[in-house]
A and B are shown apart, each in its own frame.
Chain A
Amino acid sequence: MATQSTTNSPHGIIGRPVPRIDGPLKTTGTAQYAGDFHLPGMVFAVPVQATVGSGTIRSLDVTAAQAMPGVLEVLHHGNVERLYRAVPNDPNATVSETRPPFEDNRIYYWGQYVALVVGETLEQATAAAAAVKAEYASETPMVSSELEPDAGSRHTVSTRGKVDEAFAAAAVKVDATYGTPVETHNPIELHATVASWDGDKVTFYESTQGVVNHRNAMAQLLGIPRENVTVITRFLGSGFGGKLFPWPHCTLAAVASRRVERPVKLVVTRTMMFSNVGHRPLTEQRFRIGATTDGKLTALQQDALNHTSMVDNFDEGCGEATPYLYSVPNLKVTSALVQRNVGSPMAMRGPGAVPGLFAMESAMDELAVALKMDPVELRLKNDATIDESNGQKFSSRHLRECLETGSAKFGWSKRTPEVGSMRRDGKVLGWGVAAASWGAYRFGCSTTVELGADGKARARCATQDVGTGLYTIFAQVLAEKTGLSFDRIEVILGDTTMPEGPLSGGSWSTATVLPAVASAADGAIAFLLQIAASTKGTPLAGADAKTLRLTEGRVHRVGEPTTQGVPFEQVLTLARLNRVSADGRSGSAFEDPKAKGLSMHSFGAQFVEVEWEPEIARLRVSRVVTVIDAGRIINPRAGANQIKGAVVMGVGMALLEETVYDPRNGQPINGNLADYLMPTCADSPEIDVTFLDYPDYALNSYGARGIGEIGLAGVAPAIASAVYHATGVRVRKLPIRIEDMLQSEIRQAGGER
């Protein structure tokens, strides 16, 4: 394992497993989430949802609701003010559902908002919302999970060689179709918007993964200047992609607030979250793989399909990882869409790659079975040395080491390949493996760092911490640069009045903010040293600023002990300054010559053990070893926490999660946390996380890539392969259910009398 962590900090704070600095705020309940903001005069908005999945609103009777106690306003298609659409494909002002709320009287999906009641109290608004009477000209919604692509929607994503000929000629073949169900984002924090107008300016207290994009998009939708919109997201109870971009409720809260001239709070209920704020779409993927008898891939074709809504064209991008993961001369990836009467899908953790890898890595396991070859060996044999989709070199790729390290830690050499051949304590064991990958990205970012006369260092950035540790990443860089302890460091995020930082998505936040905050800190320190050199009254006066350093919060001459230095706040006080500050900017990797021409991805390997009791068809995941190659890990504690959470999410994806639509009306029928199953603590396996920690300096000066999504990639196919190994049942359509397990021909593991 690599130990080349080239920390340039005397304290080694970069790469250290420090606890998150926001932890105490969260464990004591003092962190303010969007829904926690309570403004003077604030009132409450509750949406009314369509109870049909397709059709037209014939009539909407709001008279009873309007007359109920505390009701201030009932908004709907007939009385809503002019709302605009966001500019299509504007990357800086993206919205999740492009149709503004109440734009027409059509119903595109069950649960669509048809009215909004504003009341003095939540209870009054809720009661009045229930009293709104809607009649519909209803049509049978299209929610079937039997997918046929819409005409003309299939397109080629990547191609090389002659895949048809190569597959036809292949000695060993796999040709199978895989499916993943609709999964609903279920962060524990509900979506919530508090909107408040002051004249022609509006402030949003939002649950968003992108304050800057949210501001830009809302300005477009409301038809007001960008500078008139402020968005604040101090803390986020996670989002998993569901909170990347604004949803209709955000617009409605602002419209309602403008109408009633009071701050308005709108909290989306858990049940509404199953219809109105996105989901990972249903996917279906046919994989054709051809290989030689000794296991060298010769052909690989993926034909993917995902459903989308009637109002948007959301492409899941299942072919994300396919073109570069393995070496294969003939390849084709295609993708297509099919429209359904469902709310708009949205990116969920590892979009594209996660369902795509479920299919590809399951197909690879089927190929290993067909070849009678060890599935780790098959992957090692087909490891790619360059990105064959574009001929580029990888900036840093250690998939081979992930597989080898994982094998050793897991004890893979003890695996016997025959189905049902491994037993322990009256249970059948199944062992499975899968490779994982996820893109490595860096976008533009600006931050401000200041050193204050109060002895504190501060960083500010209009980005947000989704709950995974970005506050702490900022603090670690400030600590590294200034030598200050965390109690003298403040990080202020989640406010669009500050310099623009990145959207929290794609696992790119850490890689994106690091160079910007480092450059801002360097700038502020350079100012400080100049001031120290030119300020009378300190032993440093008259020195060449180039010979000064800031260490442990003290300015001193190079080569002299820190203790002889001057506390920086004393320098500032003598110079009669309140602070020194500097802006730091870094551009995106796409514009960086160091990154040009390189294929940048993170890699990983997932090793899974399942325990299966055939007598009662009980299946549990007992052990996961995950090895991650994600560049240099800035905080192994927060990082491992993310990977463990992602693995548990993978258990849910493989065995539990599925949003079910009633075929008659298109309602997500299991839209609550009791009926939509996600893993409990009792379902969580023993998880061993290893980071290889090879810095990727092409991406940024710290060598950090991103973590989070990579931890989910590969978990489901490793589980599905382990299930096959234990039971002989190949489940190609997730989730793997008791129904599937009952099909196994292995009926007993323990003794019989």
Chain B
Amino acid sequence: MQNFSYSKAESVEQAAAMGGRFIGGGTTLVDLMKQGVEAPTQLVDVTGLPLATVETLPNGELKVGALVRNSDLAHHETVKAQYAVLSQALLSGASPQLRNMATTGGNLLQRTRCPYFRDTSYTNCNKRNPGAGCAALGGHNRMMAILGTSEDCIATHPSDMAVAMTALEATIHVEGPKGKREIAIADFYRLPGTTPNVENALEPGELITHVTLPAPRKESKQVYLKLRDRASYEFALASAAVVAETSGGHIRYVRVALGGVGTRPWRAHEAEAALMGKPAKTEHFRAAAEAALKNAKPQSENGFKVELARRCIVRAMTMATA
């Protein structure tokens, strides 16, 4: 049995100083503790901290506290109206019960559903045991990533919310023993490379306090499209978050991020470059989709994800420019 201590933090400073694992909604951490994948010796409950509000800042940005529940964020009026891609992404994820518990900060840190990561009878998982190898290579890999993989890890990043936040170019604000800092979401998630155990830019003891979203792009249309086998309660096989603005039938602004295919929430810069200034037409969407998946490296069972992700981009762009 894995014993651990539990304490409830009363301030952000105190939490950062305590040096344990932070627990918010617990939807990932408790699950993985039951599996034996996570074995923290000290849990610091941060749910009592004043980080559960959503507010518009004077500069027009939206500040989302790390403890805002996924359900509350999805149904927040400003989010629904100005950041629709985020609301749609949140509502496409998990189940209502999980969304009622899961927090913004926790969702950013949720860990992969790779079955070999989640089963400790496989010692060969570089995320859990750095240098021990990757059981997913040569295993059941239908759900695995096709972008950003390495010889050491092919696990998919599971979040829908983080994909939308990537398209929205969110900034993640953290506070730790060395003080406060902010990290652009593009710099937050690490590619697995040779160190799949290092998943993000957080330093020991750092707590996500909030996320800021840039001032709304009022002319934009936003779409989150998630493709999967069943209609609900399944991680994406491929998803696309699109924020687009057109004028005169031409694309003037576009951000595209992909889920279900990357080892991290995947910003599709190549697709954006292929779309900028082009007429909002299927042929250009298709070319952008080809560009986005140019470097895809499928495994034995997930080659279909390449074409599925392309079609996901084309459909999301079609919807966002209609």
**CB within 8 Å for A124 and B231 given contacts A616-B312, A753-B281:** no
Q: State how many angstroms separate the Cβ of A521 from the closest Cβ of chain B.
A: 46
**Are the CB atoms of A742 and B233 closer together than 8 Å?**
no
Do B115 and A753 touch across chains, with their CB atoms under 8 A apart? no
- Output the nearest chain A residue to B234 by Cβ-Cβ distance: A677
Interface residue B41 (Cβ < 8 Å from any Cβ of A): no
**With known contacts A127-B1, A617-B227, A617-B308, A738–B140 Cβ distance under 8 A:** no
**Would you call A560 an interface residue if the criterion is a C-beta within 8 Å of the partner chain's C-beta atoms?**
no
How far apart are the CA atoms of A670 and B229 in the complex, in Å? 15
B314 interface residue (CB < 8 Å to A)? yes
Cα distance A669–B301 in the bound complex, in angstroms: 14
In Å, the complex CA distance between A656 and B308 comes to: 18
Q: Quick one: which of B36, B115, B121, B281 contacts A51, CB cutoff 8 A?
A: B121
Taking the closest CB of chain A, its distance from the CB of B238, in whole angstroms, is: 9
Interface residue total, chain B, C-beta cutoff 8 A: 30
Extra pairs beyond A616-B225, A617-B227, A738-B308 (8, CB < 8 Å): A127-B1, A130-B36, A615-B311, A655-B230, A660-B140, A674-B113, A677-B234, A738-B237
Please tell me if the beta carbons of A669 and B232 are within 8 angstroms of each other in the complex. no
- Asked if B48 lies at the interface with its beta carbon under 8 angstroms from chain A, I say no
**Contact yes or no, B280 A742, CB < 8 A:** no
**10 tightest Cβ-Cβ pairs between the two chains A and B:** A127-B1, A682-B231, A682-B232, A739-B304, A680-B232, A669-B140, A683-B231, A51-B121, A616-B315, A752-B282
The residues in A between 636 and 673 inclusive whose CB is less than 8 angstroms from any CB of B are 655-656, 660, 662, 664, 667, 669-670
Q: Would you call A679 an interface residue if the criterion is a C-beta within 8 Å of the partner chain's C-beta atoms?
A: yes
Cβ contacts under 8 Å, B140 to chain A: 660, 662, 669-670
Contact partner, B307, options A126, A660, A677, A742, Cβ 8 Å? A742
List chain B positions with a Cβ less than 8 A from chain A: 1, 36, 113, 115, 119, 121, 138-140, 143, 225, 227, 229-234, 237, 280-282, 304, 307-308, 311-312, 314-315, 318
- Interface assignment of A618: CB less than 8 Å from any CB of chain B: yes
Q: Which residue of A has the minimal Cβ distance to B3?
A: A127
- A684 to chain B minimum Cβ distance, whole angstroms, is 9
Contact B115 A655 (CB under 8 A): no
Once A617-B308, A662-B139, A752-B282 are accepted as A-B contacts, the answer to whether A677 and B229 lie under 8 Å apart by CB is yes
Residues on the B chain within 8 Å of A674, using CB: 113, 233-234
Q: Could you say which of B139, B227, B281 contacts A618, with CB atoms under 8 Å apart? A: B227
| Interface pairs (7), CB distance under 8 Å | A620-B231, A660-B140, A669-B139, A670-B140, A675-B113, A738-B237, A742-B308
B227–A738 contact, CB under 8 A?
yes
Tell me the dominant secondary structure on chain B's binding face.
loop
Q: Is A418 an interface residue (CB 8 A)?
A: no
Contacts of B314 in A (CB 8 A): 615
How far is A617 from B314 in the complex, measured between Cα atoms in Å?
12
The reply to whether B229 and A655 contact each other, CB–CB distance below 8 Å, is yes
The residues of A that contact B304 with a CB separation of less than 8 Å are 738-739, 742
Q: Which residues of B contact A664 (CB under 8 A)?
A: 138-139
Collect the chain B residues with CB atoms within 8 Å of residue A681's CB. Answer: 232
A488 at interface (Cβ–Cβ under 8 A)?
no
Determine the residue in chain B with the shortest Cβ distance to A671. B115
- Contact check, A737 vs B315: say whether CB atoms are below 8 A apart: no
A123 at the B interface (CB under 8 A): yes
Find chain A residues with CB under 8 A from B311 CB: 615-617
CB of B66 to closest CB in A, whole Å: 25
Of A616, A670, A680, which is within 8 A of B233 by CB? A680
From B1, B225, B315, residue with most partner A Cβ within 10 Å: B1
Interface size class of A (residues with CB under 8 A): 20 to 34
Which residues on the A side are within 8 Å of B308 (C-beta)?
A: 616-617, 738, 742
**Contact A738 to B229, CB < 8 A, known contacts A616-B315, A617-B308:** yes
- Quick one: which of B1, B139, B230 contacts A682, CB cutoff 8 A? B230
- Which residue of the partner chain A has the closest CB to B118? A672
Residues of chain A within 8 A of B36, CB atoms compared: 130
For B140, give the chain A residue with the smallest CB separation. A669
Interface string of A736-753 (1 = CB under 8 A from B): 011100100000000011
In the assembled complex, how far is the CB of residue B235 from the closest CB belonging to chain A, in whole angstroms?
8
Nearest neighbor of A655 in chain B, beta-carbon distance: B229
Instruction: Report A-chain residues with C-beta under 8 Å of the C-beta of B139.
Output: 662, 664, 669
Which residue of chain A has the shortest Cβ distance to B281 in the bound complex? A753
Distance in angstroms from A733 CB to nearest chain B CB is 14
Q: Which residues of A contact B225 (CB under 8 A)?
A: 616
B281 — which chain A residues lie within 8 A by C-beta?
753
A675 B115 Cβ-Cβ under 8 A: yes
Q: Are B115 and A124 in contact (CB under 8 A)?
A: no
Q: What distance in Å separates the Cβ of B117 from its nearest Cβ neighbour in chain A?
A: 12
Is the CB–CB distance between A753 and B282 below 8 Å? yes
Contact B231 A680 (CB under 8 A): yes
The minimal Cβ–Cβ distance linking A590 to chain B, given in whole angstroms, is 43
How far, in Å, is B299 (CB) from chain A's closest CB? 13
A735 to B, closest residue via Cβ: B229
Measured between beta carbons, the chain B residues less than 8 angstroms from A737 are 229
A604 CB to nearest B CB, Å? 25
Contact (A123, B1) CB under 8 Å given A130-B36, A753-B282: yes
Instruction: Give A616 to B314 CA distance when docked, in angstroms.
Output: 9
Q: Which residues of B contact A753 (CB under 8 A)?
A: 280-282, 318
A615 to chain B, nearest CB (A): 5
Q: Which residues of A in the span 258-309 have a Cβ within 8 Å of any Cβ on B? A: none
Q: Which residues of B contact A738 (CB under 8 A)?
A: 227, 229, 237, 304, 308
What's the Cα separation between A739 and B143 when bound, in Å? 12
Using Cβ atoms and an 8 Å threshold, which residues of chain B touch A656? 229-230
B121: A residues at CB distance < 8 A: 51, 667
Query: A130: which B residues are within 8 A, CB to CB?
Result: 36
Report yes or no: B115 in contact with A670, Cβ–Cβ below 8 A.
yes
**Chain B residue with the shortest CB-CB distance to A69:** B1
Query: Once bound together, how far apart are the Cα atoms of A662 and B140, in whole Å?
Result: 6
A residues near B138, Cβ cutoff 8 Å: 664
Bound state CA distance, A655 and B280, in angstroms?
A: 34
Point out the residues of chain B lying under 8 angstroms from A124, CB to CB.
Answer: 1
Please determine whether B315 and A679 come into contact, CB atoms closer than 8 angstroms. no
Chain A proximity of B292: nearest CB distance (Å): 15
B60 to chain A, nearest CB (A): 33
CB distance from A477 to the nearest CB of B (A): 40
- Among B119, B229, B282, B307, chain A packs the most CB atoms within 10 A around the CB of B229
Chain B residue contacts of A615, Cβ below 8 A: 311, 314-315, 318
A194-242 at interface with B (beta carbon < 8 Å): none
The distance from the CB of A319 to the nearest CB of chain B, in whole angstroms, is 31
CA distance A127 to B314 in the complex (A): 50
Which B residues are in CB contact (< 8 Å) with A51? 121
The chain A residue with its CB closest to the CB of B116 is: A669
Nearest-neighbor residue (CB-CB) of A740 within chain B: B304
Given contacts A123-B1, A664-B138, contact A669 B231 (CB under 8 A): no
Q: Measured between alpha carbons, how far is A616 from B223 in the docked complex, in Å? A: 15
Contacts of B113 in A (CB 8 A): 674-675
- Bound Cα distance A558, B121 (Å): 75
**Given the known A-B contacts A51-B121, A742-B304, A752-B282, are A616 and B230 also in contact in the complex, defined by CB atoms under 8 Å?**
no
**Chain B neighbourhood of A739, CB < 8 A:** 304
The one of B1, B115, B230 that contacts A680, using a Cβ cutoff of 8 Å: B230
Which residue of chain A has its CB nearest to the CB of B227? Answer: A616
User: Whole-angstrom distance between the alpha carbons of A124 and B3 in the complex?
Assistant: 12
Q: Is the CB of A683 within 8 A of B232?
A: yes
Q: Roughly how many angstroms separate A655 CA and B230 CA in the complex, as a whole number?
A: 8
Query: With A and B bound together, what is the CA distance between A228 and B231 in angstroms?
Result: 50
A677 partner residues in chain B, CB cutoff 8 A: 229-230, 234
- Residues of B with C-beta under 8 A to A616: 225, 227, 308, 311-312, 315
Provide the bound-state CA to CA distance between A738 and B229, in Å: 7
Residues 689-709 of chain A: 1 if any B CB is under 8 Å from the residue's CB, otherwise 0? 000000000000000000000
B133 CB, nearest partner CB in chain A, Å: 12
Q: Contact mask A13-35 → B, CB, 8 Å, 1/0?
A: 00000000000000000000000
- Complex contact B115–A669 (CB within 8 A): yes
Q: CB-CB < 8 A to A618: which residues of B?
A: 227
Q: Which of A581-630 contact B (CB under 8 A)?
A: 615-618, 620
